[in-house]
Structure 1
């Protein structure tokens, strides 16, 4: 049965088709007398002869008729018409949480916690009415204005104590979000199964991906993972999630339901405590206190003087500090309007938007396997600088060259610019970086930012820093690599600003030749923070798939060289490091997002 626009079903006028699935279709309709817009759910006429599907559809209507909560869609009417059944539901404006995650990528922790609390509140109410949803997943959550949520699709919900609805041995629900007891078709499923599925949904909000499997993976493999494997630490995907939130997620998704939250009251209590404490847990931009305690004064020496002793293994060791008297107001950009304006997109580069007006352009990096490190091809460059190093050895921390596989990801086409970072400071009251000797220019890469400053920016913009392996893979041109020693060319003057051509100052991003992926400034201009802890000997023990650095350490990885670097420090495999709380006028960063 197909309903055309303008069709009248009882006193409801059909306006549009909203969606369809195996059980039927959902239409946008208007109530004739009240002009109220509603969602009309119609059971597929082919299923009307199937008693099980009819019983399930009627059961959903009966369940919804007893639920009245701001976080659950409201049932207005239920009737039989022209040989099938119709539910008339509240029309929840917005989009599914699944589409929101697909569109924006992972959600900032605070936003994810807020949405989680609202879903949990709706489920708490349903459970108070002895209703278990049994199919909690992002596609069954509508997110509206102000991140208000509506839980939908109680089609396989169960009334606690009623064992007749599910046949013995039948598994209902979407496997990717199932609790272990659902996988086992346990007859005694209770509200803790919904807590587990909500935990998987929360993991997807925090990371942009599922903990186990995918829609293309085999059913048995997914079910086996749900039963036997622990939910991965979400910080393996996005490292800036607070430990309290990770602990909350872990407790929601324990294999044994006795170890999960006993009820939604205790879950909501912990969620609200974390939300309340989140500024404290994140340090409310943790670099602020540490950096303000730094006592070294901002360097006043000229760029040429700084360059003379600037690079010790590639890094400017002349530390610049922010004074406690830093202005709370972002400074004006030199010769420019100090408002947030989108930078000009790099030509011929694929892009996706992250946060409107902030990071506007990303290149998609197709995952693959590559040789990471120095295989000896360019050791002659090293010998020129370090007379004691044998040609066959190169720099020890670049060896051994080893095969690494990385998954696909998005990377910003340029380093984060002054304009973008000052917008972040303006919105969040984050401390403004020390102005370098050459001044603030909007399209220059931002400098004098610590690793912790970069982390704070990432949290705010729903991005992350690249791992060291991702950085080198992207700098080398990914699967399109032509084997250049610098990012985009064997001639550094073509693709990077360094000691010989920079005239002692960083330059605006995107002015020289991009690499094979359309990425600019990965060799020279500014060193770039990576997410990994640094270790001289890491390559000898690094895992081969999606490595993310040592588990702990003191220093963080730097890559790419700077406008003050000699040529050999700008090779794609040159490695360096710095203390995460320190900042330098040679260091900036670029950001990434998961696909």
Structure 2
């Protein structure tokens, strides 16, 4: 799927949008992804970057929509936002009972999320950046080998998705100071369309997995990391105009 549609015609100059959430700096470094890229041997390299401490909320996105009315649900082009876009809001510029201001915004397309971040002089994080940040628990920068931590994440993901979302920022910050990376909403990444993975883990190691070809082709390297597999399968099933009731986003910034 091509994401070459230009956003330049629908974005204000950087910094003119609604104020974004606070950012924390992550140091980056050599990182072993749970995904085995065909075109990358060994660890991936994550450059230092800044990431929003919390996902974007309804209140923040409402301020963006008011400043950028082309992203109202009644005006957004259908090629960039399907009919469910912001459908839980009471109106095009009104949140209502089903969208509390402090809850993470959902029912947003990749195009809308990318436009919001660009309006803040930012961007959506890459998958490697998101995975790097999400590998940390409250005290360790990489807790992925801890079975207790993994079970906690899986318990979060096993909760019913038809219940009201908690407000953002309730979770204890991880070792980098980032909150809500697990157990609140799924999150868009800038390169989501390159996440091509076989959802059936029994096929891992099968020579036929070469059918997933190209620069972003990958397969699960860590077969026990089902939370990552679920997230990748979710993102890889979407188109850029799609929205869901449990998919939100946060922004990132490249550091000098």
Scaled by the length of structure 2, what TM-score is found?
A: 0.65
Q: Structure 1 residue 364 and structure 2 residue 25: aligned? A: yes
Counterpart in 2 of 1:462? 121
Deviation, structure 1 residue 482: 3.7
Counterpart in 2 of 1:413? 53
**1 CA distance for matches of 2:88 and 2:64?**
16
Give the aligned CA root-mean-square deviation in angstroms. Answer: 4.0
Q: Secondary structure at the match of 2:252?
A: strand
The alpha-carbon distance between structure 1 residues 435 and 573, as it changes in their structure 2 partners (threshold 3 A), is closer
Q: Structure 1 residue 505 and structure 2 residue 164: aligned? A: yes
Q: List gaps (5 residues or longer) in structure 1.
A: 1-238, 243-280, 286-353, 375-395, 541-549, 554-567
**2 CA distance for matches of 1:470 and 1:581?**
22
Matches within 5 A, 1:564-575: 570-571=227-228, 574-575=231-232
72, 79, 82: which is aligned to 1:431?
Answer: 72
Deviation, structure 1 residue 551: 6.4
Deviation, structure 1 residue 441: 0.7
Are the aligned partners of 2:197 and 2:232 in contact in 1 as well (CA < 8 Å)? no
381, 399, 404: which is aligned to 2:44?
Answer: 404
More helix by share: 1
Are the aligned partners of 1:372 and 1:401 in contact in 2 as well (CA < 8 Å)? no
Are the aligned partners of 2:23 and 2:52 in contact in 1 as well (CA < 8 Å)? yes
Are the aligned partners of 2:21 and 2:56 in contact in 1 as well (CA < 8 Å)? no
**2 CA distance for matches of 1:439 and 1:467?**
30
Are the aligned partners of 1:445 and 1:588 in contact in 2 as well (CA < 8 Å)? yes
Q: Structure 1 residue 483 and structure 2 residue 151: aligned? A: no
Structure ID, larger Rg? 1
226, 243, 247: which is aligned to 1:587?
Answer: 247
The alpha-carbon distance between structure 1 residues 574 and 500, as it changes in their structure 2 partners (threshold 3 A), is closer
Counterpart in 2 of 1:450? 109
Q: How many residues align?
A: 203
Deviation, structure 1 residue 574: 4.1
Are the aligned partners of 2:106 and 2:245 in contact in 1 as well (CA < 8 Å)? yes
Are the aligned partners of 2:61 and 2:105 in contact in 1 as well (CA < 8 Å)? yes
**2 CA distance for matches of 1:575 and 1:452?**
19
Matches within 5 A, 1:544-563: none
The alpha-carbon distance between structure 1 residues 475 and 520, as it changes in their structure 2 partners (threshold 3 A), is same
Q: Structure 1 residue 474 and structure 2 residue 133: aligned? A: yes
Matches within 5 A, 1:126-525: 282-284=8-10, 358-373=19-34, 402-429=42-69, 430-432=71-73, 433-435=86-88, 439-477=98-136, 480-484=140-144, 489-492=149-152, 497-500=156-159, 504-525=163-184
**2 CA distance for matches of 1:371 and 1:500?**
28
Are the aligned partners of 2:30 and 2:46 in contact in 1 as well (CA < 8 Å)? yes
Q: Secondary structure at the match of 2:44?
A: strand
Deviation, structure 1 residue 476: 1.0
Q: Secondary structure at the match of 1:411?
A: strand
**1 CA distance for matches of 2:120 and 2:4?**
12
The alpha-carbon distance between structure 1 residues 416 and 572, as it changes in their structure 2 partners (threshold 3 A), is farther
Are the aligned partners of 1:414 and 1:519 in contact in 2 as well (CA < 8 Å)? yes
Are the aligned partners of 1:472 and 1:573 in contact in 2 as well (CA < 8 Å)? no
**1 CA distance for matches of 2:5 and 2:175?**
33
Deviation, structure 1 residue 452: 0.4
Deviation, structure 1 residue 507: 1.3
Are the aligned partners of 1:409 and 1:594 in contact in 2 as well (CA < 8 Å)? yes
The alpha-carbon distance between structure 1 residues 590 and 461, as it changes in their structure 2 partners (threshold 3 A), is same
Are the aligned partners of 1:240 and 1:455 in contact in 2 as well (CA < 8 Å)? no
**1 CA distance for matches of 2:16 and 2:34?**
33
Are the aligned partners of 1:512 and 1:520 in contact in 2 as well (CA < 8 Å)? yes
Are the aligned partners of 1:472 and 1:572 in contact in 2 as well (CA < 8 Å)? no
**2 CA distance for matches of 1:552 and 1:406?**
16
**2 CA distance for matches of 1:588 and 1:491?**
23
